Structure 1
Amino acid sequence: MGKKQLWMVIAALILVNVLTIAFYQSRVKEASGAAMSEESVATIGKTEISRQDWLNELEAKYGKDVLKEMIDQKVVTETAAKYKIKISDQEVEREFRMLQTTVDPLSQKNHASEKKWKEEIRNTLLLEELLTRDVAVSTKELRRYYAENKSVFKVPTAYHLSHIIVKTKNEATKASKELAHGSSFSALAMERSIEEFSANEGGDIGYITEEDERYPKKYIETAKRLKKGAYSKPLKVEDGYALIKLEGKLNGKSYSFDEVKEQIRRQIALEQMKTPANASTFWDEAGVEWFYGKDKNKD
Protein backbone atom coordinates (compact mmCIF):
# COMPACT_ATOMS: atom_id res chain seq x y z
CA MET A 1 0.00 0.00 0.00
CA GLY A 2 1.51 3.33 -1.10
CA LYS A 3 1.47 6.62 0.76
CA LYS A 4 -1.76 7.75 -0.89
CA GLN A 5 -3.57 4.50 -0.10
CA LEU A 6 -2.23 4.50 3.45
CA TRP A 7 -3.50 8.00 4.01
CA MET A 8 -6.94 7.03 2.67
CA VAL A 9 -7.07 4.28 5.29
CA ILE A 10 -5.95 6.61 8.07
CA ALA A 11 -8.34 9.38 7.01
CA ALA A 12 -11.19 6.85 7.15
CA LEU A 13 -10.23 6.10 10.76
CA ILE A 14 -10.55 9.72 11.84
CA LEU A 15 -14.34 9.74 11.86
CA VAL A 16 -14.38 6.30 13.47
CA ASN A 17 -12.21 7.44 16.37
CA VAL A 18 -14.27 10.55 17.06
CA LEU A 19 -17.55 8.69 16.95
CA THR A 20 -16.19 5.85 19.06
CA ILE A 21 -15.38 8.27 21.86
CA ALA A 22 -18.75 10.03 21.68
CA PHE A 23 -20.80 6.88 21.38
CA TYR A 24 -19.14 4.41 23.68
CA GLN A 25 -18.37 6.81 26.51
CA SER A 26 -22.04 7.65 26.54
CA ARG A 27 -22.92 3.95 26.61
CA VAL A 28 -20.61 3.39 29.56
CA LYS A 29 -22.32 6.17 31.50
CA GLU A 30 -25.70 4.70 30.66
CA ALA A 31 -24.67 1.25 31.81
CA SER A 32 -23.43 2.68 35.11
CA GLY A 33 -26.89 3.92 35.95
CA ALA A 34 -27.05 7.50 34.67
CA ALA A 35 -30.45 8.51 33.38
CA MET A 36 -29.30 9.17 29.84
CA SER A 37 -32.55 8.50 27.98
CA GLU A 38 -34.30 11.48 29.52
CA GLU A 39 -31.43 13.97 29.18
CA SER A 40 -31.88 16.54 26.43
CA VAL A 41 -29.01 17.26 24.05
CA ALA A 42 -30.84 19.95 22.06
CA THR A 43 -34.00 22.03 22.11
CA ILE A 44 -35.82 23.51 19.13
CA GLY A 45 -38.49 25.80 20.51
CA LYS A 46 -40.54 23.53 22.75
CA THR A 47 -39.25 20.36 21.10
CA GLU A 48 -36.38 18.40 22.61
CA ILE A 49 -33.95 15.85 21.22
CA SER A 50 -33.08 13.35 23.93
CA ARG A 51 -29.63 11.85 24.38
CA GLN A 52 -31.11 8.42 23.77
CA ASP A 53 -32.61 9.46 20.42
CA TRP A 54 -29.27 10.96 19.47
CA LEU A 55 -27.38 7.79 20.44
CA ASN A 56 -29.86 5.63 18.56
CA GLU A 57 -29.28 7.72 15.43
CA LEU A 58 -25.50 7.47 15.86
CA GLU A 59 -25.73 3.72 16.26
CA ALA A 60 -27.97 3.37 13.21
CA LYS A 61 -25.68 5.44 11.00
CA TYR A 62 -22.21 4.61 12.31
CA GLY A 63 -22.48 1.78 14.84
CA LYS A 64 -21.65 -1.00 12.41
CA ASP A 65 -18.63 0.81 10.96
CA VAL A 66 -17.30 1.70 14.41
CA LEU A 67 -17.65 -1.84 15.70
CA LYS A 68 -16.09 -3.32 12.56
CA GLU A 69 -13.09 -1.03 12.86
CA MET A 70 -12.61 -2.00 16.49
CA ILE A 71 -12.79 -5.69 15.57
CA ASP A 72 -10.40 -5.23 12.64
CA GLN A 73 -7.80 -3.61 14.87
CA LYS A 74 -7.98 -6.46 17.38
CA VAL A 75 -7.92 -9.09 14.63
CA VAL A 76 -4.81 -7.59 13.05
CA THR A 77 -3.01 -7.28 16.39
CA GLU A 78 -3.81 -10.82 17.55
CA THR A 79 -3.19 -12.48 14.17
CA ALA A 80 0.15 -10.70 13.82
CA ALA A 81 1.13 -11.93 17.28
CA LYS A 82 0.11 -15.47 16.31
CA TYR A 83 2.47 -15.43 13.31
CA LYS A 84 5.15 -13.53 15.25
CA ILE A 85 4.97 -10.60 12.83
CA LYS A 86 6.30 -7.26 14.01
CA ILE A 87 6.76 -3.84 12.48
CA SER A 88 9.84 -1.91 13.55
CA ASP A 89 9.68 1.55 15.05
CA GLN A 90 11.87 2.71 12.15
CA GLU A 91 9.22 1.67 9.61
CA VAL A 92 6.49 3.46 11.56
CA GLU A 93 8.62 6.59 11.86
CA ARG A 94 9.34 6.57 8.12
CA GLU A 95 5.66 6.34 7.18
CA PHE A 96 4.77 8.95 9.79
CA ARG A 97 7.41 11.32 8.42
CA MET A 98 6.11 10.88 4.87
CA LEU A 99 2.53 11.52 5.96
CA GLN A 100 3.49 14.62 7.92
CA THR A 101 4.75 16.24 4.73
CA THR A 102 1.88 15.18 2.48
CA VAL A 103 -1.37 15.62 4.42
CA ASP A 104 -3.19 18.83 5.25
CA PRO A 105 -3.08 20.30 8.78
CA LEU A 106 -6.80 19.74 9.41
CA SER A 107 -6.40 16.01 8.83
CA GLN A 108 -3.38 15.96 11.11
CA LYS A 109 -5.28 17.71 13.89
CA ASN A 110 -8.10 15.17 13.67
CA HIS A 111 -5.76 12.62 15.22
CA ALA A 112 -6.03 12.53 18.98
CA SER A 113 -2.25 12.51 19.29
CA GLU A 114 0.97 11.63 17.51
CA LYS A 115 1.01 8.38 19.47
CA LYS A 116 -2.46 7.42 18.24
CA TRP A 117 -1.55 8.28 14.65
CA LYS A 118 1.52 6.06 14.85
CA GLU A 119 -0.59 3.22 16.28
CA GLU A 120 -2.86 3.47 13.24
CA ILE A 121 0.15 3.40 10.93
CA ARG A 122 1.57 0.34 12.70
CA ASN A 123 -1.77 -1.45 12.44
CA THR A 124 -1.94 -0.75 8.70
CA LEU A 125 1.61 -2.01 8.16
CA LEU A 126 0.90 -5.14 10.21
CA LEU A 127 -2.11 -5.86 8.00
CA GLU A 128 0.00 -5.43 4.85
CA GLU A 129 2.62 -7.80 6.26
CA LEU A 130 -0.02 -10.39 7.20
CA LEU A 131 -1.55 -10.31 3.73
CA THR A 132 1.80 -10.64 1.96
CA ARG A 133 3.83 -12.74 4.39
CA ASP A 134 4.02 -15.73 2.04
CA VAL A 135 4.84 -13.75 -1.09
CA ALA A 136 8.45 -13.96 -2.28
CA VAL A 137 9.85 -11.26 -4.56
CA SER A 138 13.31 -11.54 -6.08
CA THR A 139 16.03 -9.10 -5.07
CA LYS A 140 16.39 -8.18 -8.73
CA GLU A 141 12.74 -7.13 -8.91
CA LEU A 142 12.98 -5.25 -5.63
CA ARG A 143 16.01 -3.31 -6.85
CA ARG A 144 14.33 -2.55 -10.17
CA TYR A 145 11.28 -1.13 -8.35
CA TYR A 146 13.53 0.95 -6.09
CA ALA A 147 15.46 2.36 -9.07
CA GLU A 148 12.24 3.26 -10.91
CA ASN A 149 10.62 4.88 -7.86
CA LYS A 150 13.50 6.51 -6.04
CA SER A 151 11.63 9.77 -5.64
CA VAL A 152 8.99 7.98 -3.52
CA PHE A 153 11.68 7.12 -0.98
CA LYS A 154 13.11 10.61 -0.75
CA VAL A 155 11.46 12.95 1.73
CA PRO A 156 12.35 16.58 0.93
CA THR A 157 13.07 19.19 3.57
CA ALA A 158 9.71 20.51 4.72
CA TYR A 159 8.72 23.61 6.64
CA HIS A 160 5.68 23.69 8.90
CA LEU A 161 4.16 27.14 8.41
CA SER A 162 1.28 29.29 9.53
CA HIS A 163 0.26 32.46 7.74
CA ILE A 164 -1.96 35.50 8.02
CA ILE A 165 -3.16 37.09 4.78
CA VAL A 166 -4.65 40.59 4.76
CA LYS A 167 -5.62 42.89 1.91
CA THR A 168 -3.28 45.85 2.51
CA LYS A 169 0.28 46.49 3.63
CA ASN A 170 -1.07 48.79 6.34
CA GLU A 171 -3.12 45.93 7.80
CA ALA A 172 -0.09 43.63 7.64
CA THR A 173 2.09 46.21 9.41
CA LYS A 174 -0.55 46.67 12.10
CA ALA A 175 -0.75 42.89 12.64
CA SER A 176 3.04 42.69 12.81
CA LYS A 177 3.12 45.34 15.54
CA GLU A 178 0.46 43.47 17.52
CA LEU A 179 2.54 40.30 17.30
CA ALA A 180 5.58 42.22 18.52
CA HIS A 181 3.55 43.26 21.57
CA GLY A 182 2.68 39.67 22.42
CA SER A 183 -0.50 38.93 20.48
CA SER A 184 -1.08 35.31 19.48
CA PHE A 185 -0.31 34.53 15.84
CA SER A 186 -3.05 31.89 15.82
CA ALA A 187 -5.64 34.26 17.30
CA LEU A 188 -4.78 37.01 14.84
CA ALA A 189 -5.02 34.58 11.93
CA MET A 190 -8.51 33.52 13.00
CA GLU A 191 -9.54 37.14 13.46
CA ARG A 192 -7.86 38.89 10.52
CA SER A 193 -6.80 36.47 7.79
CA ILE A 194 -8.88 36.61 4.61
CA GLU A 195 -7.80 33.08 3.63
CA GLU A 196 -10.74 31.29 5.21
CA PHE A 197 -9.54 27.68 5.30
CA SER A 198 -6.28 28.35 7.12
CA ALA A 199 -7.85 31.10 9.26
CA ASN A 200 -10.15 28.50 10.77
CA GLU A 201 -7.03 26.55 11.74
CA GLY A 202 -5.26 29.51 13.30
CA GLY A 203 -3.33 30.12 10.09
CA ASP A 204 -1.81 26.64 10.02
CA ILE A 205 -1.05 25.46 6.46
CA GLY A 206 0.93 22.36 7.42
CA TYR A 207 4.25 21.32 5.90
CA ILE A 208 5.32 22.69 2.53
CA THR A 209 8.39 21.94 0.40
CA GLU A 210 10.22 23.65 -2.43
CA GLU A 211 8.20 21.57 -4.91
CA ASP A 212 4.88 22.69 -3.41
CA GLU A 213 2.91 24.77 -5.93
CA ARG A 214 0.10 25.77 -3.57
CA TYR A 215 2.00 28.67 -2.05
CA PRO A 216 4.39 31.38 -3.34
CA LYS A 217 8.05 30.44 -3.66
CA LYS A 218 8.88 33.32 -1.31
CA TYR A 219 7.24 31.33 1.51
CA ILE A 220 10.04 28.76 1.37
CA GLU A 221 12.72 31.38 0.75
CA THR A 222 11.56 33.29 3.81
CA ALA A 223 11.08 30.19 5.97
CA LYS A 224 14.70 29.20 5.41
CA ARG A 225 15.79 32.40 7.16
CA LEU A 226 13.42 32.11 10.12
CA LYS A 227 14.05 30.45 13.46
CA LYS A 228 11.40 28.16 14.89
CA GLY A 229 8.61 30.25 16.41
CA ALA A 230 9.60 33.42 14.55
CA TYR A 231 7.46 35.25 12.00
CA SER A 232 8.31 37.25 8.89
CA LYS A 233 7.90 40.84 7.81
CA PRO A 234 4.92 41.51 5.49
CA LEU A 235 5.29 39.73 2.15
CA LYS A 236 3.52 40.84 -1.04
CA VAL A 237 1.37 37.99 -2.35
CA GLU A 238 -1.36 37.62 -4.96
CA ASP A 239 -4.24 38.28 -2.56
CA GLY A 240 -2.58 41.07 -0.61
CA TYR A 241 0.10 40.80 2.08
CA ALA A 242 1.16 37.82 4.19
CA LEU A 243 2.93 37.22 7.47
CA ILE A 244 4.32 33.72 7.84
CA LYS A 245 5.46 31.92 10.98
CA LEU A 246 7.82 28.94 11.14
CA GLU A 247 6.21 26.32 13.37
CA GLY A 248 8.80 23.61 12.70
CA LYS A 249 11.09 21.97 10.18
CA LEU A 250 11.77 18.43 8.96
CA ASN A 251 15.17 17.91 7.36
CA GLY A 252 15.12 16.00 4.09
CA LYS A 253 16.13 12.34 3.97
CA SER A 254 16.72 9.76 1.26
CA TYR A 255 15.99 6.16 2.28
CA SER A 256 18.37 3.46 1.10
CA PHE A 257 17.31 0.25 -0.61
CA ASP A 258 17.98 -1.79 2.54
CA GLU A 259 15.78 0.54 4.59
CA VAL A 260 12.75 0.15 2.31
CA LYS A 261 13.10 -3.25 0.68
CA GLU A 262 10.40 -4.82 2.87
CA GLN A 263 8.06 -1.95 2.08
CA ILE A 264 8.73 -2.53 -1.62
CA ARG A 265 8.08 -6.26 -1.29
CA ARG A 266 4.72 -5.58 0.34
CA GLN A 267 3.84 -2.98 -2.28
CA ILE A 268 4.57 -5.33 -5.19
CA ALA A 269 2.66 -8.15 -3.52
CA LEU A 270 -0.35 -5.97 -2.77
CA GLU A 271 -0.46 -4.74 -6.36
CA GLN A 272 -0.71 -8.36 -7.49
CA MET A 273 -3.61 -9.19 -5.17
CA LYS A 274 -7.02 -9.56 -6.81
CA THR A 275 -9.03 -8.88 -3.66
CA PRO A 276 -9.16 -5.72 -1.51
CA ALA A 277 -6.69 -5.61 1.36
CA ASN A 278 -8.68 -5.65 4.58
CA ALA A 279 -8.66 -7.35 7.96
CA SER A 280 -11.91 -9.24 7.27
CA THR A 281 -9.73 -11.83 5.53
CA PHE A 282 -8.71 -13.06 8.98
CA TRP A 283 -12.06 -12.93 10.77
CA ASP A 284 -12.81 -16.64 10.41
CA GLU A 285 -9.33 -17.57 11.54
CA ALA A 286 -9.67 -15.29 14.56
CA GLY A 287 -13.10 -16.73 15.42
CA VAL A 288 -14.95 -13.43 15.26
CA GLU A 289 -18.63 -13.29 16.21
CA TRP A 290 -20.45 -9.98 16.35
CA PHE A 291 -23.77 -8.20 16.73
CA TYR A 292 -24.38 -8.01 12.97
CA GLY A 293 -24.09 -11.73 12.27
CA LYS A 294 -22.07 -13.14 9.37
CA ASP A 295 -21.91 -9.95 7.29
CA LYS A 296 -18.37 -8.58 7.50
CA ASN A 297 -19.24 -5.53 5.41
CA LYS A 298 -16.49 -6.31 2.96
CA ASP A 299 -15.84 -3.61 0.38
Structure 2
Amino acid sequence: MKKSKWNTQDNSDQNGRTAVITGANTGIGFETAAALAERGAHVVLAVRNQGKGHEAAEKIAARSPKAALSVQRLDLGSLDSVRAAAEELRARHDRIDLLVNNAGVMWTPRSTTADGFELQFGTNHLGHFALTGLLLDRVLATRGSRVVTVSSDAHRLGASVNFDDPQSEQKYSRTGAYGQSKLANLLFAYELQRRLAGKSATISLAAHPGGAATELARNSNPFVRVLFDRLIVPLIAQDAASGALPSLRAATDPQATGGEYYGPDGLTGLRGHPTAGRSSKKSHNAADQLRLWTVSQHLTGVVYPV
Protein backbone atom coordinates (compact mmCIF):
# COMPACT_ATOMS: atom_id res chain seq x y z
CA MET A 1 0.00 0.00 0.00
CA LYS A 2 1.36 3.42 -0.92
CA LYS A 3 2.20 5.76 1.94
CA SER A 4 -0.25 8.68 2.02
CA LYS A 5 1.87 11.28 3.85
CA TRP A 6 4.95 11.04 1.66
CA ASN A 7 7.66 13.67 2.23
CA THR A 8 11.34 14.31 1.43
CA GLN A 9 12.44 11.80 4.08
CA ASP A 10 10.85 9.11 1.89
CA ASN A 11 12.95 10.13 -1.11
CA SER A 12 14.94 6.96 -1.82
CA ASP A 13 18.71 6.68 -2.20
CA GLN A 14 19.75 8.15 -5.56
CA ASN A 15 23.46 7.29 -5.53
CA GLY A 16 24.76 6.36 -8.97
CA ARG A 17 21.76 7.86 -10.75
CA THR A 18 21.78 10.76 -13.21
CA ALA A 19 18.87 13.21 -13.25
CA VAL A 20 18.30 15.91 -15.87
CA ILE A 21 15.90 18.61 -14.69
CA THR A 22 14.71 21.46 -16.90
CA GLY A 23 14.18 24.85 -15.29
CA ALA A 24 16.20 23.78 -12.26
CA ASN A 25 17.52 27.22 -11.34
CA THR A 26 14.39 28.37 -9.52
CA GLY A 27 11.14 27.33 -7.88
CA ILE A 28 9.90 23.75 -8.18
CA GLY A 29 12.80 22.73 -10.41
CA PHE A 30 15.39 24.06 -7.97
CA GLU A 31 13.83 22.24 -5.01
CA THR A 32 13.54 19.03 -7.03
CA ALA A 33 17.21 19.29 -8.00
CA ALA A 34 18.30 20.05 -4.44
CA ALA A 35 16.40 17.08 -3.00
CA LEU A 36 17.74 14.61 -5.57
CA ALA A 37 21.30 15.91 -5.15
CA GLU A 38 21.02 15.56 -1.37
CA ARG A 39 20.15 11.89 -1.87
CA GLY A 40 23.22 11.31 -4.03
CA ALA A 41 22.08 11.77 -7.62
CA HIS A 42 24.26 13.50 -10.19
CA VAL A 43 21.92 16.33 -11.10
CA VAL A 44 22.09 18.23 -14.38
CA LEU A 45 20.47 21.66 -14.12
CA ALA A 46 19.19 22.29 -17.67
CA VAL A 47 18.51 26.02 -17.78
CA ARG A 48 18.18 28.88 -20.26
CA ASN A 49 20.47 31.23 -18.31
CA GLN A 50 23.74 29.50 -17.42
CA GLY A 51 24.73 32.22 -14.96
CA LYS A 52 21.57 31.62 -12.94
CA GLY A 53 22.15 27.90 -13.30
CA HIS A 54 25.59 28.16 -11.72
CA GLU A 55 24.20 30.34 -8.93
CA ALA A 56 21.57 27.69 -8.24
CA ALA A 57 24.23 24.96 -8.26
CA GLU A 58 26.24 26.93 -5.70
CA LYS A 59 23.18 27.23 -3.44
CA ILE A 60 22.53 23.51 -3.67
CA ALA A 61 26.20 22.76 -2.95
CA ALA A 62 26.01 24.97 0.13
CA ARG A 63 23.13 22.82 1.40
CA SER A 64 24.72 19.53 0.29
CA PRO A 65 28.53 19.91 0.06
CA LYS A 66 28.95 16.46 -1.52
CA ALA A 67 26.39 17.14 -4.24
CA ALA A 68 27.33 16.17 -7.80
CA LEU A 69 26.04 18.94 -10.05
CA SER A 70 26.47 20.22 -13.58
CA VAL A 71 24.81 22.96 -15.61
CA GLN A 72 23.53 22.54 -19.15
CA ARG A 73 22.35 25.43 -21.29
CA LEU A 74 18.88 24.73 -22.67
CA ASP A 75 16.40 27.13 -24.24
CA LEU A 76 13.16 25.21 -24.76
CA GLY A 77 11.95 28.03 -26.98
CA SER A 78 14.52 27.13 -29.64
CA LEU A 79 14.70 23.75 -31.33
CA ASP A 80 18.31 24.50 -32.28
CA SER A 81 19.12 24.95 -28.59
CA VAL A 82 17.20 21.78 -27.68
CA ARG A 83 19.14 19.77 -30.26
CA ALA A 84 22.47 21.24 -29.15
CA ALA A 85 21.71 20.52 -25.50
CA ALA A 86 20.63 16.96 -26.29
CA GLU A 87 23.81 16.36 -28.27
CA GLU A 88 25.98 17.62 -25.41
CA LEU A 89 24.07 15.57 -22.84
CA ARG A 90 24.35 12.45 -24.97
CA ALA A 91 28.10 12.99 -25.30
CA ARG A 92 28.50 13.23 -21.51
CA HIS A 93 26.04 10.58 -20.34
CA ASP A 94 25.62 7.03 -21.57
CA ARG A 95 22.55 6.72 -19.37
CA ILE A 96 19.95 9.02 -17.88
CA ASP A 97 17.92 7.65 -14.98
CA LEU A 98 15.53 10.56 -14.54
CA LEU A 99 14.34 13.20 -16.97
CA VAL A 100 12.14 15.77 -15.24
CA ASN A 101 10.36 18.04 -17.72
CA ASN A 102 9.74 20.88 -15.30
CA ALA A 103 10.47 24.24 -16.96
CA GLY A 104 7.64 26.42 -18.15
CA VAL A 105 6.24 29.88 -18.79
CA MET A 106 2.83 31.09 -17.68
CA TRP A 107 0.31 33.73 -18.73
CA THR A 108 2.64 35.45 -21.19
CA PRO A 109 1.52 38.10 -23.68
CA ARG A 110 1.19 36.53 -27.10
CA SER A 111 4.61 36.02 -28.61
CA THR A 112 6.41 33.25 -30.43
CA THR A 113 9.43 31.04 -29.94
CA ALA A 114 12.46 31.15 -32.20
CA ASP A 115 10.69 28.59 -34.41
CA GLY A 116 7.43 30.54 -34.64
CA PHE A 117 5.41 28.52 -32.12
CA GLU A 118 3.11 30.24 -29.64
CA LEU A 119 5.38 30.79 -26.65
CA GLN A 120 3.53 28.79 -23.97
CA PHE A 121 2.67 25.84 -26.23
CA GLY A 122 6.12 25.91 -27.80
CA THR A 123 8.07 26.11 -24.53
CA ASN A 124 5.94 24.06 -22.16
CA HIS A 125 5.07 21.26 -24.56
CA LEU A 126 6.95 21.21 -27.88
CA GLY A 127 10.37 21.97 -26.35
CA HIS A 128 9.97 19.14 -23.85
CA PHE A 129 8.58 16.79 -26.51
CA ALA A 130 11.67 17.38 -28.63
CA LEU A 131 14.11 17.08 -25.72
CA THR A 132 12.58 13.84 -24.47
CA GLY A 133 12.64 12.27 -27.91
CA LEU A 134 16.27 13.23 -28.49
CA LEU A 135 17.34 11.79 -25.12
CA LEU A 136 15.02 8.82 -24.93
CA ASP A 137 17.55 6.19 -25.99
CA ARG A 138 19.77 7.25 -23.07
CA VAL A 139 16.76 6.93 -20.75
CA LEU A 140 15.78 3.56 -22.18
CA ALA A 141 19.33 2.32 -21.59
CA THR A 142 18.73 2.43 -17.84
CA ARG A 143 16.49 -0.12 -16.16
CA GLY A 144 14.05 1.58 -13.82
CA SER A 145 14.40 4.97 -15.49
CA ARG A 146 11.58 7.51 -15.55
CA VAL A 147 10.32 10.52 -17.45
CA VAL A 148 8.35 12.90 -15.23
CA THR A 149 6.42 15.70 -16.92
CA VAL A 150 5.22 18.55 -14.73
CA SER A 151 1.74 19.75 -15.65
CA SER A 152 -0.78 21.84 -13.72
CA ASP A 153 -4.39 21.52 -12.69
CA ALA A 154 -4.87 24.51 -14.98
CA HIS A 155 -5.13 21.81 -17.65
CA ARG A 156 -8.76 21.50 -16.55
CA LEU A 157 -9.55 25.02 -17.76
CA GLY A 158 -11.13 25.48 -21.16
CA ALA A 159 -11.61 23.05 -23.99
CA SER A 160 -9.31 20.42 -25.42
CA VAL A 161 -6.26 21.25 -27.53
CA ASN A 162 -7.36 23.35 -30.50
CA PHE A 163 -5.82 21.32 -33.31
CA ASP A 164 -7.23 23.75 -35.87
CA ASP A 165 -5.28 26.60 -34.25
CA PRO A 166 -2.67 25.14 -31.86
CA GLN A 167 -0.54 28.30 -32.07
CA SER A 168 -3.47 30.55 -31.03
CA GLU A 169 -3.10 32.67 -34.14
CA GLN A 170 -6.84 33.26 -34.60
CA LYS A 171 -7.65 33.94 -30.97
CA TYR A 172 -5.33 34.31 -27.99
CA SER A 173 -5.95 34.13 -24.27
CA ARG A 174 -3.05 34.07 -21.81
CA THR A 175 -4.84 31.69 -19.46
CA GLY A 176 -6.34 29.64 -22.28
CA ALA A 177 -2.97 29.12 -23.97
CA TYR A 178 -1.40 28.18 -20.65
CA GLY A 179 -4.16 25.67 -19.93
CA GLN A 180 -3.76 24.18 -23.41
CA SER A 181 0.00 23.77 -22.90
CA LYS A 182 -0.51 22.03 -19.57
CA LEU A 183 -3.14 19.73 -21.07
CA ALA A 184 -0.64 18.96 -23.83
CA ASN A 185 1.88 17.95 -21.15
CA LEU A 186 -0.52 15.31 -19.87
CA LEU A 187 -1.59 14.05 -23.29
CA PHE A 188 2.10 13.62 -24.07
CA ALA A 189 2.96 11.89 -20.76
CA TYR A 190 0.13 9.39 -21.13
CA GLU A 191 0.83 8.64 -24.80
CA LEU A 192 4.51 8.12 -23.98
CA GLN A 193 3.55 5.65 -21.25
CA ARG A 194 1.27 3.79 -23.66
CA ARG A 195 4.16 3.42 -26.10
CA LEU A 196 6.55 2.26 -23.37
CA ALA A 197 4.19 -0.19 -21.67
CA GLY A 198 5.20 -3.80 -22.12
CA LYS A 199 8.24 -2.88 -24.19
CA SER A 200 10.53 -1.18 -21.67
CA ALA A 201 11.24 -0.91 -17.96
CA THR A 202 11.12 2.86 -18.37
CA ILE A 203 7.92 4.58 -17.23
CA SER A 204 6.33 7.95 -17.89
CA LEU A 205 4.52 9.81 -15.12
CA ALA A 206 3.10 13.28 -14.55
CA ALA A 207 2.87 15.62 -11.58
CA HIS A 208 1.52 19.00 -10.60
CA PRO A 209 2.63 21.23 -7.70
CA GLY A 210 -0.77 22.52 -6.65
CA GLY A 211 -0.62 26.16 -5.65
CA ALA A 212 3.06 26.89 -5.13
CA ALA A 213 4.78 30.19 -4.42
CA THR A 214 7.18 30.43 -7.36
CA GLU A 215 8.19 32.95 -10.02
CA LEU A 216 5.97 31.37 -12.66
CA ALA A 217 3.49 34.27 -12.76
CA ARG A 218 6.24 36.82 -13.45
CA ASN A 219 5.11 37.18 -17.08
CA SER A 220 1.51 38.12 -16.26
CA ASN A 221 0.28 41.72 -16.44
CA PRO A 222 1.13 43.93 -13.42
CA PHE A 223 -2.37 43.86 -11.91
CA VAL A 224 -2.63 40.06 -12.04
CA ARG A 225 0.92 39.71 -10.72
CA VAL A 226 0.18 41.92 -7.70
CA LEU A 227 -3.09 40.04 -7.08
CA PHE A 228 -1.26 36.72 -7.35
CA ASP A 229 1.66 37.71 -5.11
CA ARG A 230 -0.25 39.58 -2.41
CA LEU A 231 -3.55 37.74 -2.20
CA ILE A 232 -3.60 34.35 -3.86
CA VAL A 233 -0.15 33.12 -2.81
CA PRO A 234 -0.45 34.03 0.92
CA LEU A 235 -3.92 32.51 1.19
CA ILE A 236 -3.69 29.26 -0.73
CA ALA A 237 -0.16 28.52 -1.88
CA GLN A 238 2.48 26.30 -0.31
CA ASP A 239 6.19 26.92 -0.59
CA ALA A 240 8.26 25.71 -3.53
CA ALA A 241 9.79 22.86 -1.51
CA SER A 242 6.31 21.48 -0.81
CA GLY A 243 5.30 22.08 -4.41
CA ALA A 244 8.23 19.94 -5.55
CA LEU A 245 7.09 16.89 -3.57
CA PRO A 246 4.73 15.51 -6.26
CA SER A 247 7.56 15.62 -8.83
CA LEU A 248 9.92 13.96 -6.37
CA ARG A 249 7.47 11.21 -5.51
CA ALA A 250 6.81 10.52 -9.19
CA ALA A 251 10.56 10.40 -9.77
CA THR A 252 11.61 8.23 -6.83
CA ASP A 253 8.78 6.30 -5.14
CA PRO A 254 9.47 2.60 -5.82
CA GLN A 255 5.72 1.93 -5.79
CA ALA A 256 4.90 4.56 -8.42
CA THR A 257 3.63 3.15 -11.70
CA GLY A 258 3.58 4.46 -15.25
CA GLY A 259 0.74 6.79 -16.17
CA GLU A 260 0.15 8.08 -12.64
CA TYR A 261 -0.50 11.77 -11.94
CA TYR A 262 0.83 13.06 -8.61
CA GLY A 263 -0.33 16.18 -6.83
CA PRO A 264 -1.19 17.54 -3.35
CA ASP A 265 -3.83 15.56 -1.44
CA GLY A 266 -5.64 18.59 0.03
CA LEU A 267 -9.34 19.13 -0.63
CA THR A 268 -8.75 21.66 -3.40
CA GLY A 269 -5.59 20.02 -4.73
CA LEU A 270 -3.62 23.18 -3.95
CA ARG A 271 -1.83 22.06 -0.79
CA GLY A 272 -0.90 18.90 1.02
CA HIS A 273 1.15 15.74 0.72
CA PRO A 274 1.77 14.22 -2.73
CA THR A 275 -0.55 11.45 -3.81
CA ALA A 276 -1.63 9.82 -7.05
CA GLY A 277 -4.79 11.46 -8.34
CA ARG A 278 -6.94 11.67 -11.43
CA SER A 279 -6.48 14.25 -14.16
CA SER A 280 -9.34 15.47 -16.33
CA LYS A 281 -11.32 13.22 -18.66
CA LYS A 282 -10.04 15.15 -21.69
CA SER A 283 -6.42 14.40 -20.72
CA HIS A 284 -7.23 10.70 -21.11
CA ASN A 285 -8.68 11.08 -24.61
CA ALA A 286 -6.64 8.50 -26.55
CA ALA A 287 -7.47 10.04 -29.93
CA ASP A 288 -6.20 13.45 -28.78
CA GLN A 289 -3.08 11.88 -27.31
CA LEU A 290 -2.23 10.25 -30.62
CA ARG A 291 -3.14 13.33 -32.65
CA LEU A 292 -1.00 15.61 -30.50
CA TRP A 293 1.91 13.15 -30.78
CA THR A 294 1.64 13.18 -34.57
CA VAL A 295 1.38 16.98 -34.72
CA SER A 296 4.33 17.36 -32.33
CA GLN A 297 6.55 15.07 -34.40
CA HIS A 298 5.66 17.08 -37.50
CA LEU A 299 6.31 20.47 -35.88
CA THR A 300 9.57 19.51 -34.16
CA GLY A 301 10.95 17.02 -36.64
CA VAL A 302 11.72 14.65 -33.75
CA VAL A 303 10.66 11.04 -34.28
CA TYR A 304 10.71 8.76 -31.25
CA PRO A 305 12.32 5.30 -31.12
CA VAL A 306 9.12 3.92 -29.56
Same fold per TM (> 0.5)? no
By percentage of residues, which structure has more helix?
1
Q: TM-score, normalised by structure 1?
A: 0.24
Higher Rg = 1
